[in-house]
Structure 1
């Protein structure tokens, strides 16, 4: 039975590790990579508060290149909202069976002010969450 995995991604090393983990450990499962545009985080970090059309084109090209290394394809999506809530809402709405995510994403001021997305997702999720260091 094919399961549906959700892999939240930013440009961090741990997020890339989570995708590699999902690709290698779950070779027969459907994988969706989600990127959350968090306007609140962008404001704290001093960056622009852009929408879904602001994602770098190379971001998902790099995601697909990683999947290609495993002979796989992945679905991608961009959503807006508060990171943890957006991840959990997408997982609930799209009948995701498991979330695979990095232990920490971006660092710096925004992480200190906003707390840990991985910790919040793990605490609030009603489905299994695998945290990859």
Structure 2
């Protein structure tokens, strides 16, 4: 039987990503697997504040991600699960694939925003790239679509 021993769960704090974390927690709990939570900060151009000093946006993103990721990590640890987390910089799909190989995970669980058409063509799809290039099974979790109520 196929034994899951290590799960990589990329986290971008979107609804789909948070749902993927729930799946990772269930898989880890039921199979005794360890979970590696990963946030990837994509390099961005420098931001300018009102005093015209350049402020590295990556530092702000890293700090916010570290705080949010630690909350998720603590939930895993309180539940008695083996978990670690990290923040990496770079192209999300490249970093995810590199980390999966480095950690020798045998399951990737990640959220997908479900972009279609032109927006997917312009922005690309991290999930699609990972599915095509990963050396292990990938479970894609979509956020539930929100129902629109009201006038159009």
| TM-score interval, normalised by the smaller of the two chains | 0.7 to 0.9
> What is the TM-score normalised by the length of structure 2?
0.69
CA deviation after TM superposition for structure 1 residue 130, in Å: 0.4
Contact in 2 for aligned 1:20/1:66 (Cα 8 Å): no
Task: Report 1 or 2 for greater relative contact order, CA contacts < 8 Å, sequence distance ≥ 6.
Answer: 1
Give the Cα separation in 1 of the matches to 2:74 and 2:103: 24
- For the aligned residue pairs, the C-alpha RMSD in angstroms reads 2.9
TM-score by length of 1: 0.78
Among residues 58, 63, 75, which one is paired with 2:67 in the alignment?
58
Distance 1:124 1:75, change over 3 A: same
Distance in 1 (alpha carbons) for counterparts of 2:26 and 2:98: 26
Q: Aligned to 2:58, what secondary structure does the other structure show?
A: coil
Separation (CA, whole Å) in 1 of partners of 2:24 and 2:81 = 11
Q: Does 1:80 align with 2:82?
A: no
Within 2, Cα distance between the matches of 1:86 and 1:52?
20
The reply to whether residue 10 of structure 1 matches residue 19 of structure 2 is no
- Map 1:24-103 to 2 at 5 A: 24-27=26-29, 28-39=32-43, 42-43=44-45, 49-50=57-58, 54-56=62-64, 57-67=66-76, 70-103=79-112
Where does structure 1 lack aligned partners over 5 or more consecutive residues?
Answer: none
SS in 2 for 1:50: helix
Q: How many residues align?
A: 125
Question: Which residue of the partner structure matches residue 132 of structure 2?
Answer: 123
For residues 113 and 62 of structure 1, the distance between their equivalents in structure 2, rounded to whole angstroms, comes to: 33
CA distance in 2, matches of 1:97, 1:73: 15
**Offset, 1:124:** 0.9
Measure how far apart 1:73 and its partner are.
Answer: 4.5
Q: Which runs of 4+ in 1 moved over 3 A?
A: 68-71, 110-113
Deviation of 1:97 (Å): 1.0
